[in-house]
Amino acid sequence: MKKIQISPSILSADFSQLGNEIKRLEEGGADMIHVDVMDGHFVPNLTIGPPIIKALKKNCSIQFDVHLMISPVEKYIKAFADAGSDIITIHPEATDNLKRAVGTIKSLGKKAGVSLNPKTHISALKDVINDIDLILIMSVNPGFAGQSFMGEVLPKVTELRKIINDKKLKIDIEIDGGINFETAPLAVKAGANILVSGTTIFSGSLKDNIQKLRNCA
């Protein structure tokens, strides 16, 4: 089993202190920083874009795990790559040509992820499974922090872990939405190896919560 990695979502951070919040996450043992990018169109919420990512990245060395909830996504992949994203994750519904969009991410020297909404079937990955580095399983409908974990996505995680093992692929399975000390162990048992968490990590001591999340899984 792979080492469990923690990717705190800055969606629950104090936006007036973002630089410091990332420093605190880095010092608290985060493996990477999850950045939720929303366009008010693909999802109903609106967050941050490349200039802020660029400014934040300049002051830290931790990897940025950038979750793009924007469409059409192709138009902005280069801007997010240039801003300093290390992993760029996109949704199949946000592009006309998923394979080409994944190819663009890879050609810019970044890790490519594809995210599956709770209702999106694994078959959406069929053309790109050999090209991607990460699969992000949404365990809530994307758009907002603080939603409840949807346990019905767990069989999808189990099935994907089996496909990845059988094909001997090097793909991380990340899970995002409603991850807390009760749901993290379920996600890891199903086969996830990267846990995204906003609400849980930002409730109290970041360091304690990161450690607790890693250990409970």
Binding site for Zn ion (CB under 5 A): 36, 67, 176
Q: 147: which DSSP letter? A: P
Write down the catalytic residue from 31, 36, 39, 172.
36
Q: Which does 147 bind (CB under 5 to 8 A by kind): Zn ion, ligand DX5, none?
A: ligand DX5
Q: Which does 57 bind (CB under 5 to 8 A by kind): ligand DX5, Zn ion, none?
A: none
Q: CA angle 210-129-101, nearest 5°? A: 90
181: left (phi over 0), alpha (psi -120 to 50) or beta: alpha
Least Å from the CB of residue 166 to ligand DX5: 28
Which among 14-22, 158-166, 175-183, 185-193 is the span making contact with ligand DX5, rule CB under 6 A? 175-183
133: annotated active-site residue: no
Burial of 51 (0-12, 13-18, 19+ CB in 10 A): exposed
String of contacts with ligand DX5 for each residue 21-60, x by CB under 6 A = -------------x-x------------------------
Per-residue DSSP letters for 90-134?
E-GGG-S-HHHHHHHHHHTT-EEEEEE-TT--GGGGTTTTTT-SE
Residue number with CB closer to ligand DX5 (104 or 180): 180
Taken as a whole, the chain contains a residue count of 217
* By the rule CB under 6 A, 214 interacts with ligand DX5: no
176: annotated active-site residue: yes
Q: 31: which DSSP letter? A: S
Cα separation, 180 vs 44, whole angstroms: 24
Least Å from the CB of residue 149 to ligand DX5: 8
Positions marked catalytic: 36, 176
Q: Which residues bind ligand DX5 (CB under 6 A)?
A: 9, 11-12, 34, 36, 67, 140, 142-143, 145-147, 176-179, 196-200
